[in-house]
Amino acid sequence: MDFEIKQDMEKNRFVSFVEGYEAVVEYTLKDNIIDIYRTYTPTELRGKGIAGKLVNFALEHAKENNLKVIPTCSYVKGYIERHENYKELLSE
């Protein structure tokens, strides 16, 4: 499933509109540390890999911008555990 993901800097989130529904990854940013605290995918879209693509997009953004990551969201924490290449981004 292809869909566009955009960063909404005003609301501190990455967002995608799929099939008329909004899926998001929300974060706070301070001192080059991004705290990804919430991932939300509407019930109608779950099981389609959308949350994973949003989280991947957010982590790639962090990598490209030399940001350290605090995975407050349990989904993000689990994603990083399953994708070891992102462990280097974790804030200490």
Please report which helix (H) or strand (E) contains residue 60, including its range.
helix 50-64
pLDDT score, position 92? 77
pLDDT in tens, 38-55: 999 999 999 999 999 999
13 contacts 26 by C-beta, under 8 angstroms: yes
Classify each residue of 33-44 as buried b or exposed e, where b means 16 or more C-beta atoms within 10 Å of its C-beta. Answer: ebbbeebbbeee
25 contacts 13 by C-beta, under 8 angstroms: yes
pLDDT in tens, 59-69: 999 999 999 99
pLDDT range class, residue 30, cuts 50, 70, 90: very high
Domains along the chain with CATH numbers = 6-89 (3.40.630.30)
